[in-house]
Chains A and B, each alone.
Chain A
Amino acid sequence: MEIKEILRGYEAGDPQMVGIMTMIPITTKTPYQSVGNVEDLVLEKDVSYQKLRFTNNSEEISIVPHGYMYLTQKEKAQDRTVGSTYLVDRKGTIEVDADCLEPSQGGLMRPGEKEWSLLPVGLKLPAFQKHGDQRYQSLWPDVEKYLKRAGLEGRAIIEFFKSYKDELDQFVAQFEPVENQVGAIILFGDKMVGMEVTPHYLFWNEMWRPIIRDCYGSDAVTLSKQGLGVGYKPILKEDVKNIADLESQTKEVFDKSKKFAQTVVDNILNEDVEKKETQNLGDWTLYDIESDNIRGQAVKHGPQHYVYSSVVYKGLQDPNVFEREFAPIWEKGEVYKKNEFKF
Chain B
Amino acid sequence: MKKVVSLNAPSSKEQEISSKDTTEILDFVKSALVGTGQKEYYNTKEEQREALLRVHTPVFSKHREFYAFLLLSQINDLNKQIIIYNLLANGRNISKKKREVENKLILCSLNKMRTSRAYRTLVMLAENKVNNSRTRGLVETWLKNRSNYIVEFVKYKDKAKRIIVHNHIHIDNEVWDFLFKTKKKDFKNQLFNDYYEARRNPNKLYELPYTIAEGFASYHNIDRKEFLEKIKKRMTNTEKLSRQTTAKRSGVKIEADWTKWELNRIYKYLYSLDRAPKTCKSELNEIADKIAQRIPYRYKNSVVIIDNSGSSYGSNEKKYHPISVSLALAKIIENISDNCKRLYTNNPGTRIVPKVRGATDLATPLIKALKHKPAFDSVFILSDGYENQIAGLVEQIIRVYKTKVDKKDKTMILQLSPVMAAESHSVRELSGQIPNVGILNENQLSGALLLLSMQHNEGKTIKQFTNFLKKKFEKLELNLSNFLLEGPNGN
Contact = CB atoms under 8 A, between A and B. Distances in A.
A246 interface: yes
B388 A174 contact: yes
A65 B361 CA distance: 31
A178 B358 contact: yes
Given A17-B389, A17-B390, A246-B400, A176 B309 contact: yes
A174 B404 contact: no
A116 B97 CA distance: 66
A178 B390 contact: no
A205 to B, nearest CB: 11
A217 B194 CA distance: 59
Contacts of A233: 391-392, 396
A250 B404 contact: no
Interface in B377-436: 386, 388-393, 396-397, 399-401, 403-405, 422-424, 429, 432
A202 interface: no
A327 interface: no
Interface string A250-285: 100110010000000000000000000000000000
A112 B310 CA distance: 31
Interface in A1-40: 14-19
A31 to B, nearest CB: 16
Interface in A307-343: 335, 337, 339-341
Given A169-B422, A173-B311, A246 B399 contact: no
A340 B404 CA distance: 29
Given A170-B422, A243-B370, A341-B423, A176 B396 contact: no
A287 interface: no
Interface in A174-200: 174-179
B185 interface: no
Contact of A257 (B390, B396, B424): B390
B360 interface: yes
B367 interface: yes
B371 interface: yes
Interface stretch (A42-50, A71-79, A150-158, A234-242): A234-242
A244 B371 CA distance: 7
B359 A178 contact: yes
A166 interface: yes
B401 A246 contact: yes
Contact of A178 (B357, B371, B393, B401): B357
B357 A253 contact: no
Interface residues of A, number: 40
A234 B400 contact: no
B135 to A, nearest CB: 42
B363 interface: yes
Contacts of B432: 337
A175 B388 contact: yes
Contacts, number: 103
A341 to B, nearest CB: 6
A237 B42 CA distance: 38
A240 B371 CA distance: 14
B360 to A, nearest CB: 7
A176 B422 contact: no
Given A244-B371, A246-B370, A246-B401, A234 B422 contact: no
Contact of A14 (B359, B371, B405, B423): B359
Given A176-B310, A236-B399, A253-B390, A247 B422 contact: no
Contacts of A249: 400
A247 B422 CA distance: 31
Interface in B357-377: 357-361, 363-364, 367, 370-371
Interface in A191-232: 232
Q: Which of A175, A233, A246 has the most CB of B within 10 A?
A: A246
Nearest to B391: A18
B290 to A, nearest CB: 35
A176 B370 contact: no
A39 to B, nearest CB: 15
Q: Which of A169, A174, A257 has the most CB of B within 10 A?
A: A174
Nearest to A25: B359
Given A243-B370, A247-B367, A335 B391 contact: yes
Given A173-B386, A246-B397, A240 B391 contact: no
Nearest to A18: B391
A34 B396 CA distance: 46
A173 B391 contact: no
B357 A250 contact: no
Nearest to B388: A16
Contacts of B386: 173-174
Contact of A241 (B391, B393, B404): B404
A14 B400 contact: no
Contacts of B429: 337
A250 B359 contact: no
Contact of A236 (B361, B370, B389, B396): B396
B358 A179 contact: yes
A131 B173 CA distance: 81
A17 B388 CA distance: 5
Contact of A243 (B311, B371, B390, B391): B371
Q: Which of B42, B390, B393, B396 has the most CB of A within 10 A?
A: B390
B391 A17 contact: yes
A17 B359 CA distance: 10
A32 B309 CA distance: 25
Contacts of A241: 404-405
A339 B359 CA distance: 25
Given A178-B310, A250-B363, A341-B423, A236 B397 contact: yes
Contacts of B359: 14, 16, 175-176, 178
A240 B393 contact: no
Interface string B227-245: 0000000000000000000
5 contacts: A16-B390, A18-B390, A176-B309, A178-B357, A238-B403
Closest 7 CB pairs of A and B: A176-B310, A16-B388, A18-B391, A243-B371, A236-B396, A17-B390, A240-B404
Given A17-B388, A174-B386, 7 more contacts: A16-B390, A176-B310, A178-B358, A234-B392, A243-B370, A246-B405, A254-B389
Interface of B: 42, 309-311, 357-361, 363-364, 367, 370-371, 386, 388-393, 396-397, 399-401, 403-405, 422-424, 429, 432
